[in-house]
Amino acid sequence: MNTGFWMAICPNCKTRVDETFAPCPSGDGFFAIEEDEHASHPDDRLLGRRIGERFIVAAILGSGSMGYVYKAYQAQVDRMVALKVFHAEKVEGTLMGQRTANSSGRGGQDRFAQEARVLAKLSHPNCVTLYDFGVSDDDRFLYIAMEHVAGVSLRKAVRRGLKVDAILEIVRQILMALREAHSLDIVHRDLKPENIILSYRRSSDEQIVKVLDFGIAKLLQQDPESARTAVGLLFGTPAYMSPEQCRGESDIGPATDIYALGCMLYELVCGKLPYVSKSPQEMVRMHQLEPIPDLEPRVGLTVPAGLETFVRTCMAKPPQDRYADAHAALVAFESLAGKSSGQALRVSAPEGGARRGRVMVPGDRIIGNNVDPTVDRVAPAGLSARAVSAQPAAPAGGVRDTARGEAGKKGSSRSSFAMLRQGNNALVLIALSVVLIFCALLFTYIYLSTRG
């Protein structure tokens, strides 16, 4: 593989290498990575190492309390993957950094493998695919290799603002991903904008939403027996946690994901969280006890009638009052779009032919409310002719008057052009006649002169 502008280097002995991901000629067991990646994280001991005999660690994508996320190269199939590496001691019966009394290394690894096998069954265009999982040779960490997705997180789009058509299309695709997961009894448990990637297919430029980290929360939680004794310990993101999660209940089902989706949809529409607090503890209390706030769309944002009812149903406090799962929520959501007046779900087609609507673009083109780059002014995929617009419709009479006026203007223009063309033709005929008469008189004069 070519290195491009940056040189390839062994991160262990600093030997220069011609090709990225080639083994270091010194034989130290490391592989060459791009020099700038090593310079950015010179002390990381996994850069340039091969994990599971398949994945060469190329760069750091992020980090957290449980471990790191790397970009890695899988040479056998010539692809880049996202490699999540978890510290073994964090997985072995650990919850929120607290170890349980009866945790064991082998038990934690077995439970990790069991949950990973379940997640590997999840296959859907809107779900990030899990390729592989395993344990390092020295048992120091566990890893999962997942599809590496190019794009921007929904968090960035939330900050910059999205219009209604993009919001509805994003939510629809999230629900499709959740429906597939719920059909396999997989619950996300930590749905939030950071776990949603707005991406695209390079071959067709089709815009697509990808949901990350399905079931990772459960995969990293302590074993069920220990969980029953861990009263009050929580796993999740407080801003989007369901009341049952906030209470520390272990019986978590699809309705938990529906609640988190309701919180995200509220944030997308209103530009703020449904419950705002400076402390996670207070936010946890608000999710359990505070009434659901009214939906107050951002300035200039017009939402379909019934969207607030959908959000309130998703955010109902008792799980049984929410949509049972993503399938039920998706049916209600698409019914909502179909029952809207049509004015909030219609945009005009672009000039020069129709193109599929976009739900995202690369980050430098998501520029906020004033100009919405996620809209190509055509119905987004899946909403068909019920495309979305925040513009109010003109009264029927106004539409007819406008159409009549435009037709009158066009007719008047055509008449003027026809008159002008007819006038020009007359002038040409007159000029031609004058020339012919002049020529005739000239010839007559010459003829008479020669005879005289």
Question: Residues at the annotated binding site for ATP?
Answer: 84
What tokens does 361 get?
Answer: 């673009």
What phi and psi, each to the nearest 5 degrees, are found at residue 439?
-65, -40
Distance of CA 203 to the CA centre of its chain: 17
d(CA 177, CA 199): 14
Give Dmax (Cα) for the chain.
139
Q: Tell me the pairing of strands 196-200 and 79-87.
A: unpaired
Distance of CA 254 to the CA centre of its chain: 21
d(CA 260, CA 380): 24
CA distances from 104 to 84, 90, 101, 168 (A): 21, 11, 9, 45
d(CA 22, CA 3): 11
d(CA 187, CA 255): 9
Q: Which helix (H) or strand (E) holds 69?
A: strand 67-74
d(CA 177, CA 123): 9
Catalytic residue flag (residue 138): no
Catalytic residue among 190, 213, 257, 325: 190
What tokens does 129 get?
Answer: 């695919």
Residue positions annotated with a catalytic role = 190
